[in-house]
Amino acid sequence: MGDDHRRPWQREGVLFFGDVIAGLSHELSNVFNIINEMAGLQQDILAGAQPKSADAADRLSELAGRIKAQVERGETLNQSLHSLAHSVDDANIAFDLGDTLELVSSLAARRARLARVELVVHRPESPVTLEGDPFVLLLTIYESIVAVVGAADSERRVEVSAAQHDSGAQVFITSADPLPPGVADEIAALEIGHLSWGAVHTLDPPFPEPPGRIILDVPAVAPALNAPADEEGQEDPDGN
Give the total of residues touching other proteins (CB under 8 A): 20
Measured CA to CA, the distance from residue 201 to residue 217 in angstroms comes to 6
> In the range 83-142, which residues lie near other proteins by CB under 8 A?
113-116
3 state DSSP class of 198: coil
Q: Is 21 in the site for other proteins (CB under 8 A)?
A: no
Interaction between residue 66 and other proteins (CB under 8 A):
yes
Is residue 52 at the binding interface for other proteins, with CB under 8 A as the rule? no
Task: Please report how close the Cβ of residue 11 comes to other proteins at its closest, in angstroms.
Answer: 23
Q: Exposed, middle or buried, 96 (CB in 10 Å: 0-12/13-18/19+)?
A: middle
Is residue 45 involved in binding other proteins (CB under 8 A)?
Answer: yes
Residue 44 engages other proteins in binding (rule: CB under 8 A): yes
- Strand intervals (E) in the chain: 93-96, 118-121, 129-132, 157-165, 168-175, 200-204, 213-219
Nearest to 148 by CA among 123, 120, 178, 124: 178
Span from 28-36, 97-105, 146-154, 232-240 in contact with other proteins (CB under 8 A): 28-36
4-28 as b/e: b if 16+ CB within 10 A: eebbbbeebbeebbebbeebbeebe
* Per CB under 8 A, 70 contacts other proteins: yes
Per CB under 8 A, 30 contacts other proteins:
yes
Indicate whether 38 belongs to the interface with other proteins (CB under 8 A).
yes
Q: Is the Cβ of residue 2 or residue 65 nearer to other proteins in the bound state?
A: 65
Q: 214 — phi, psi (to 5°)?
A: -100, 135
Beta carbon nearer to other proteins, 53 or 226: 53
Which sign, positive or negative, has the C-alpha torsion 77, 80, 84, 86?
positive
Q: Does 41 bind other proteins (CB under 8 A)?
A: yes
The contact set with other proteins (CB under 8 A) reads 26, 29-30, 32-34, 36-38, 40-41, 44-45, 48, 66, 70, 113-116
